Homo-oligomer: A and B are copies of this chain.
Amino acid sequence: MTTATRIDWTREHCRLLQAIRREFAVTRPFEGLTIGTGIHIEAKTVALLTTLRAGGAQVVATGNLNSTQPAAVEALRAEGVTVIGAQTRDEREHGRYQRELLATQPDLILDNGGDLFARYLDHPYPSLKGGTEETTSGRMRLKPLRDRLRRPVLVINDSPIKQFAENRHAVGQSTLESLLRLTNRVTNGERVTVVGYGACGRGVADNLRGAHAKVSVVEADPVTRLRAHLDGFDTPARDRALSTADVIITVTGAPGVITAKDLPLLKDGVILANAGHFPVEIDAAGLLKAPEVRAVREYEDDLATLELADGRRIHLVARGHMFNLAGPRALGNSIESMDLGFALQARCLEAVATGQVDGTSCVVPVPAEIDAQVADAYLADRYQ
């Protein structure tokens, strides 16, 4: 009888990374190279960074703003990864960690939001081979810098695999799971309004319908709204969709989707939750201090109920933060969906390290052959 942690559990179930790790231990694609990264330091990323380490890399990591988990730092250090800094919400402190990381002149950068590549341009050095960028917002930030970067930078989130495996399916599912876990409320027969019908919104709407909710979609783009309609969702005008909802979930990527101005519309007992990445879609601060709010009642697990002067109650989940990562037991997207994305990361970094892509591949999607390789690996044996 041995005991193990959630980090162990996660790592052991990253099937693709495990196989790549065994391969890298032989092929050593990063022998002699340093990889610098600003990816979140939590259970799942441990599996990625230790896989890179197994491929011969020196790995130097500093976390993202606020998200660094001490147990993950410990697990990384136990495997020889250098971790700079600690959890912080202080942007200047965070910037100092990043500069310290770049001072090691990593050969490859695994970026998250474009911070490291952007800072690299402040103090460029010739040995940088290129790297990867995890996010779409990073891609948008780095694209205008291509003339100066002139190195391969492969954008993971632009892979179709990320779009359907993570954004659509995994986010949709963890949103449903979080709603149940946090509120313990029924979904059957409830009117749920999903604001936004991109890949994430489609997943949220699909999973809530699978849970027997009556789902309406609010979507600004008429072509996408028609798509939602033909997918069988109600597409009422925004104000009606808000005023009839028992649950409202925002997943637009845009700020100010629900603000204090909407309070008059909302139904007694409505639940407000944000599944978008940034805590800007529901203006929680604005709602809490709205003049018609008579009292706020705070519950365990970051639930809050706003009592309005006219007696209506508005339930706010996770203060508008991405609620599928909220609460003490939030494990987030499924291990397999992360494993897919991180296998793309590992293969892309391998491609950059071994010169399979060149400087013309600067801020471009994952090469199609890497997508195909990872998809094949996922399905091999187990599902065929």
Contact = CB atoms under 8 A, between A and B. Distances in A.
A219 to B, nearest CB: 10
Nearest to A332: B184
A45 B181 CA distance: 19
B160 A173 contact: no
Contacts of A1: 295-298
Interface string A325-355: 0011101101111000000000000000000
A303 to B, nearest CB: 7
Interface residues of A, number: 78
Given A164-B230, A335-B185, A222 B298 contact: no
A4 B212 contact: no
A165 interface: yes
A186 interface: yes
Given A334-B185, A384-B236, A5 B300 contact: yes
Contacts of A61: none
Interface stretch (A127-135, A139-147, A272-280, A372-380): A372-380
Given A9-B299, A299-B6, A379-B226, A232 B188 contact: yes
Contacts of A371: 223
Contacts of A356: none
Given A227-B164, A299-B5, A221 B188 contact: no
Interface string A1-19: 1111110111011000000
Contact of A184 (B10, B180, B187, B235): B10
B189 A212 contact: no
Interface stretch (A34-42, A88-96, A109-117, A203-211): A203-211
Contacts of A164: 226-227, 230
Given A2-B297, A214-B233, 15 more contacts: A2-B295, A9-B300, A169-B212, A170-B186, A177-B177, A181-B331, A184-B332, A189-B229, A189-B232, A189-B383, A207-B211, A225-B375, A226-B375, A226-B379, A237-B384
